[in-house]
Structure 1
Amino acid sequence: MMGLLNKWMESLDYEFKILQSCTRHQSPYSSCSRCLDVCSDEAITFIDGNPYIDNEKCTECGYCIAECPVQAIEGFFPKRTVFQNQLVVTDEHPPALRELLGYYKKGITAIIGEQEKLDENWQQTISKTNEMLEKLNEAPFSIHLKKIELKEESFTRREIFSFWKNEAQSTLKQMTPAKWRFNHEELDIAKLYPKHQFIEVSVNLSKCTLCKACQKLCKKNCFQINDTSFTISAQKCSGCMLCQDICPEKAITIQERIMSATEVAHSLLIKTCKICNNNYQTLVDQSEKCVKCKKKEEFGAILS
């Protein structure tokens, strides 16, 4: 019975889909194109600024899932062959870099194969992954190319879901299509490496007007503005760039950089505007005018 059920599940074919949580759907100012950039099959196109997947062209390589910074591409990773907790090199595309980082944290830290040497794609991907692991203070993937007695332990789609979500309560629950389909949400590498951050977030204090647009749109809750401080917690940042794209003053800069997780708090000051005499918040000690009065002056200068 179980074998028949597994075969039935393997026969199901779910198409990849881009969800409304995509930053392009969240704001017309979003510049993210990472799914498009990583798709070598040209299966992703932009229509009216939003990405769509042509499932006739899509080969379900999973690269777009791994690359999406907000896990907005619904689908599942392709089957990988694992033998005795080692990833086996195949003729297919290698896993994406982020996918490899995920496998590493799940205990698969060695790569094996019967080839004399790795092909260029596998070599480049593993090399880049090992560079990142070094910055994360982790040992690199070990590589063993030799004749092996391979008993295939290739993950089925159901088993892949179980692998990425090992806290699933029961096999029966995993077999519900609405549940085992969604392993795209499990590859948030910031959660897998909580002591490090992959993005550095900088704010130009002289430009920032404390409008809170970044705080309202950031799904990772990296920004917190209250009565006394502007706090940036970049550990959870996945680099979607939406805060940088939507900032009206262009005060936010996002850079990919692996570093120890840090939290930066900028103190807020209460000043009195020399034009309207109202109190206002600012990040700059030398500030003399509130945002409203400053904008009026700038607008007047443009008209004159």
Structure 2
Amino acid sequence: MSMFVNWLESLHVDLNITNKCSRKRNIRSTCSICFDGCKYNALTINQQKFEIISERCTSCGDCIISCPLSAIEGMSASREFENGSLIYDEGYTPSVKELLIYKKRGLHSIIIAGNSLNPKWEIVINQANRKLKFLGQNPIIVLKDVNEETLSRRNFFTSIQKEGKQLAKRLAPVEWKKEANEWKLTKYYPDYQFYTVEIDQNKCILCQACFSFCLEKVFSIRDTIILIENEKCVNCKDCTDICPEHAIEINPDIKKRSEIHATFHIKECRDCGKLFHTFQLETEKCHICKDRDPEWLSPYL
């Protein structure tokens, strides 16, 4: 009996917000994508942390799918598929991001049993197809379901076998179903970028705080060049939130992947004598000495 009880307990695992969450790593984080997308108010913001209200959570999986960093662990939403087709269900509306990922997983159509999709589904499919065009993919089409009233003997047993496999999958412990990094668009479309990251060189002091907080490693330095790899950006906004000079801007922009190269200078600080990076050739002090109160006694005297 204890083995059976342990099995039943394994069927349910609460959602877990991992340490990849911007709110857990960055005190300045403004990310609220999962919070804004939760229809059941099951997420709350407590200071700089998200909390899940378990009694409100329906395990719909929308927060897991929406998180740009795949920072939420748990079982994602259960959707019904049939031979590369998503079965239409008025009980939910998929997101554009969800359909783009399903497309790379083999989705080619939506099957509908009635006469038409509801307006929400139509909007999402149209938006997804416009993006798929940019991404060089065929559109997702809508097909009307044609059910045969009778099944052949062979089809009957094939159907039973398939339902048995689906049942086994549904009964598998949730721990086995947890997916890591499965909901990042950058994983499925590595040759494209969804955002363009721009640095205002007149504001940037090259403190490199954005380098440290970017989990996707969008920024890197090669000799005297800053390299921005736009295809890695997931729009988590860690870089814009941490930047003290508000010098970074992220713009939605679907196109072939591109890199931005920004040349900087290496200079010796006039006050502390240490080497520092700057975009401005005429700058003579590092950003620490530049911001130091002149009335304070200099530590370098």
**1:42-79 deviation line (CA, Å, top 9, x unaligned):** 11111122111112111222111111011111112222
Q: Which residue of 1 aligns with 2:31?
A: 32
How many angstroms does 1:14 deviate by? 2.0
- Structure 1 residues 100 and 275: CA distance shift in structure 2, 3 A: same
User: Is 1:223 the equivalent of 2:199?
Assistant: no
Q: CA–CA distance in 2 between the matches of 1:49 and 1:293?
A: 31
Q: Which residue of 1 aligns with 2:118?
A: 119
- Structure 1 residues 282 and 124: CA distance shift in structure 2, 3 A: same
Match of 1:200 among 192, 196, 202: 196
How many angstroms does 1:39 deviate by? 0.6
Q: CA–CA distance in 2 between the matches of 1:49 and 1:279?
A: 35
Q: Which residue of 1 aligns with 2:13?
A: 14
How many angstroms does 1:291 deviate by? 2.4
Paired AA for residue 18 in structure 1: I
Secondary structure of the residue aligned to 2:126 is: helix
- When structure 1 is superposed on structure 2, of 274-283 and 124-133 the one drifting more is 274-283
Q: CA–CA distance in 1 between the matches of 2:272 and 2:195?
A: 40
Match of 2:177 among 178, 181, 184: 181
* Unmatched runs of 5 consecutive residues or more in structure 1: 161-174
How many angstroms does 1:40 deviate by? 1.0
Q: Which residue of 1 aligns with 2:186?
A: 190
Q: CA–CA distance in 2 between the matches of 1:156 and 1:12?
A: 15
Q: CA–CA distance in 1 between the matches of 2:61 and 2:166?
A: 15
Paired AA for residue 17 in structure 2: I
**Identity of aligned pairs, percent?**
33
Secondary structure of the residue aligned to 2:181 is: helix
**1:59-113 deviation line (CA, Å, top 9, x unaligned):** 2221111110111111122222112221110232032222211110011111111
User: Is 1:52 the equivalent of 2:41?
Assistant: no
Q: Which residue of 1 aligns with 2:153?
A: none
- Structure 1 residues 106 and 157: CA distance shift in structure 2, 3 A: farther
Q: CA–CA distance in 2 between the matches of 1:149 and 1:289?
A: 78
Q: CA–CA distance in 1 between the matches of 2:91 and 2:258?
A: 38
Paired AA for residue 93 in structure 1: Y
- When structure 1 is superposed on structure 2, of 69-78 and 9-18 the one drifting more is 9-18
Aligned residue pairs total 279
**1:181-208 deviation line (CA, Å, top 9, x unaligned):** 3225212110100111111101011211
Q: CA–CA distance in 2 between the matches of 1:16 and 1:156?
A: 23
Aligned-CA RMSD value: 2.9
Q: CA–CA distance in 2 between the matches of 1:28 and 1:94?
A: 33
Q: CA–CA distance in 2 between the matches of 1:237 and 1:266?
A: 17
Q: CA–CA distance in 2 between the matches of 1:19 and 1:276?
A: 40
Contact 2:195–2:254 (8 Å) recurs in 1: yes
Q: CA–CA distance in 2 between the matches of 1:156 and 1:75?
A: 19
TM-score for both structures, normalised by structure 1: 0.81
TM-score for both structures, normalised by structure 2: 0.82
Greater C-alpha Rg: 2
Match of 2:264 among 262, 265, 268: 268
1:93-112 matches, within 5 Å, as 93-112=92-111
How many angstroms does 1:147 deviate by? 3.0
Q: CA–CA distance in 2 between the matches of 1:9 and 1:225?
A: 51
Secondary structure of the residue aligned to 1:284 is: coil
